[in-house]
Amino acid sequence: MIWRRRWFNFYGHEIKLFKSELVSGRKAPIVGRTDGQDSKPIQTVPLGSAVYISHTYEESQVQGSFKVRDQSGEEWYMFTDGSEEKETVLAAFAIASA
């Protein structure tokens, strides 16, 4: 498994993954980057009532990580920089998939 740092944002019942960092507080991709990073989402993950989230450490072996599986069975392993951020993200997943 190869881990790559991605930034993501919730939009209704989906999340969008970005290569570049999001603007703090504005929840929007950085526009006009000069380092070649694209501010367009690289992938959109649909969320719905059938989204499954696993926090089992043994699955990814990365502290602060969790696994998201969508209705079609596609899986994404994600992590946050700390436990407080992880709880915030998991709460957002719960709201978005309700």
User: What separation, in Å, do the N-terminal and C-terminal C-alpha atoms of the chain show?
Assistant: 30
Number of domains the chain contains: 1
d(CA 97, CA 47): 5
* pLDDT for 22: 56
> What's the one-letter identity of residue 44?
T
**Collapsed DSSP state (helix, strand, coil) of residue 29:** strand
pTM above 0.75, yes or no: no
Give me the domain span that covers residue 71: 7-96
Q: What is the CATH number of the domain that holds 30?
A: 2.30.29.30
85 found inside a domain: yes
> What's the one-letter identity of residue 20?
S
2 found inside a domain: no
pLDDT digits (tens, 9 = 90+) for 2-11: 777 777 888 8
Closest to 48 in 3D by CA, of 91, 94, 1 = 94
pLDDT digits (tens, 9 = 90+) for 58-72: 777 777 788 888 888
* pLDDT for 1: 66
25 found inside a domain: yes
1 found inside a domain: no
pLDDT digits (tens, 9 = 90+) for 24-37: 444 444 444 444 44
Residue 66's Cβ-count burial label (10 Å; 0-12, 13-18, 19+) is buried
